Every structure is written in structure tokens, then in C-alpha cells.
Amino acid sequence: MNLPLLRNAAGVMTLPALLATLLLAGVGLGGCRVDREPAYEWLPWLNSMEFSSAAETNTKNANFKNGLTMQVPPAGTIPRGFKPLHYTAAEAERAGGDLKNPLEATPENLARGKERFGVFCSPCHGPVGAGDGLVVKRNVGFGSFPINNPLAGPGTWPDGKVFHMISFGRGNMPSYATQIPQEDRWRIVLHLRELQKANK
């Protein structure tokens, strides 16, 4: 079968060749980006990378040997934004002596600490650290969440010990190391000190 020549005897591109070139250019450019407005897509199969569906966290995934989407981080790695703590869960006293709060009690740090305290701490410890959060109130009679040491009292624990307990947990309190970045843990300690000043 003879293919049509791209150029005629005079060197000018033939009409079929010109149309084929324009068609290929249009398809190539059309696959670069597609806006979702209006509510249709032209050749969506060309945009599978731009609009790929991310796997849900707790779903099965055939791409991994264990069949899970959520994978355990490789040994020796540190999540982005987190720094290693060279303490064990049992070394709260040592952390109390070694660790000093690197942040100053600026209005920005205090505001952020108050906001993070409200999200992560107040459900158990209450809005002012009195140990009267909703979790505690709803477990009255069951004894599963007793808080005997209100945070807003005249606590003598050093900043490093409080930071260690937020990081590793204590008693019924779980570790918040994977949920609260280190800087925000220190900001929560700053806010806690403000609560203690207000409750003296």
C-alpha cells in the first residue's frame, strides 16, 4: 500500500499531511491540561496522571506485598517535619533535666499553643487544664479516664518533662508524637504555663 507523500513536487505539504499534523498537535496539546469547568473533559484518558485517584489510607492495595495502602515507615527514617528524640518512654525525668523550651512566649506562639491545646489536650484535660474535659465527664462512673493532676495547678514538672509526656504519652494518655509537630508541642507547653499562671 502506498502512503500519500507529505510534500508534493513543489515542496508544499499536501492537504492530508497538513490535516494529520494539525490533528496530532491538537491531541498532544489537549492532553496537557484539562480544566474541570465546564463539567466535561476532552479525552480524559490522556489526563490520567493529572486526575489520578489517590488510594484511601485504610484500604487494600495490590501494589504492596502486604496488601495494605498504609505502610510502616522504613527503619531509620524520620517523618518530614519531625526530629528524633533521643529518649525512651521511661526517661521523662532525664528529659525534664535535659530539654529546654527553644521557643519564646511570643503572642504568635502562645496563640498557636492555645489552639493546639484546644484540639489535642482539652478533650481530656478541659479548656483550662482542670481535668474536666468531655472525655472525662462522659466516663464518670467507669473510672477509665481519671485525671488526678490538673494541668492548671501549680505544677512543678519542668518543660522538658511535659514535652516528653506529650511525645511519649503517660498512663491513659497516648503519644502525640505523630500528630503534633515538635514545635507545636513546645507551644502547648508555653500555653500550659500561661494557664498555670492564671490559676495560681
DSSP SS3 for 122: helix
**How do residues 174-200 score in pLDDT, each as one tens digit?**
899 889 999 999 999 999 999 998 877
pLDDT in tens, 54-92: 778 788 888 888 998 888 878 878 777 667 788 888 899
Residue count of the chain = 200
Closest CA to 176 of 112, 127, 116, 126: 116
The residue whose grid cell reads 507545636 is 184
Q: Of 188, 6, 168, 181, nearest to 87 (Cα)?
A: 168
> How does DSSP classify residue 70?
S
d(Cα 151, Cα 59) in Å, to the nearest integer?
Answer: 39
pLDDT at 31: 58
Question: Does pTM surpass 0.85?
Answer: no
> What whole-number distance in Å separates Cα of residue 33 and Cα of residue 11?
35
Give the whole-angstrom CA distance, residue 101 versus residue 108.
15
Give the angle subtended at the CA of 65 by the CAs of 61 and 69, to the nearest 5°.
30
